[in-house]
Amino acid sequence: MDKKWLDQVISKYSSPSGRILGILGEIQKAKKYLPKEDLVYVSKKIGIPISQIYSLATFYSFFELQPIGEHIITVCTGTACHVKGAPKIISALETLLGVEEGKTSPDGKFSLTTEDRCFTLNTARCFGACSMAPVLRIDGNIYGYNTPAKLPNILKSYGWRKK
C-alpha cells in the first residue's frame, strides 16, 4: 500500500458529497480493484466505518474487490447454455487457465483470476445469443458453439500459452 499516494487521493476529495465514491474510483482506476488494506486505510483516515465503504463498493458493479485479469472471460450459465454444456466449458477453462477447479461460481457471484493476472474467469446469465449455445464472452467478443476442444485456440488469440 502506498500511503503517500492514498493521502494525495483523499486530500483531493474534501467535500462530503461524493467523497467516498471519488476516492474509491481513483483507487479502482489506478489498481484495477480495491485492495482491502487501502479500504481500511481510507476508512480510518476519513472516519467512515469500513462497513459503509464496503456496502458502496459492493453496490456499484464497476468496483472490483479482487484483482482482475487483463482479459475477462465470462461463460454464460443461462438455461440454454447450461443444457448445451456450459459446465464442461467452465471446467475446461479452469483447467486451461490453471485456476482452482470447481471454484468458478455458476451464479456469477465471484470470479477467479490467474496468478499472472492475464485472465479472469467468471459467469453470467444469458447474453441473448442462446441459438449459439454454449456461449462465452471475452472482453466483449462473443464466441458460440463452444466445445472444450475449441477453447485453446480462442484463448491463444488473447495471449494464452499452454503451460
Contact footprint for ligand FES (CB under 6 A): 76, 78-81, 126-127, 129-130, 133, 135
7's CB contacts (< 8 A; 6+ apart) are 45
Give 119 or 127: the residue with its C-beta nearer to ligand FES.
127
Give 39 or 81: the residue with its C-beta nearer to ligand FES.
81
Residue with CB nearest ligand FES?
78
In the complex, what is the shortest distance from the CB of residue 142 to ligand FES, in angstroms, rounded to a whole number?
9
In the complex, what is the shortest distance from the CB of residue 71 to ligand FES, in angstroms, rounded to a whole number?
20
Give 57 or 76: the residue with its C-beta nearer to ligand FES.
76
Closest CA to 87 of 147, 9, 21, 161: 147
Check: CB of residue 49 under 8 Å from CB of residue 78.
no
In the complex, what is the shortest distance from the CB of residue 90 to ligand FES, in angstroms, rounded to a whole number?
13
71's CB contacts (< 8 A; 6+ apart) are 118, 119, 120, 138, 139, 158, 159
- In angstroms, the Cα distances linking 139 to 19, 69, 73 are 30, 11, 7
Give 69 or 78: the residue with its C-beta nearer to ligand FES.
78
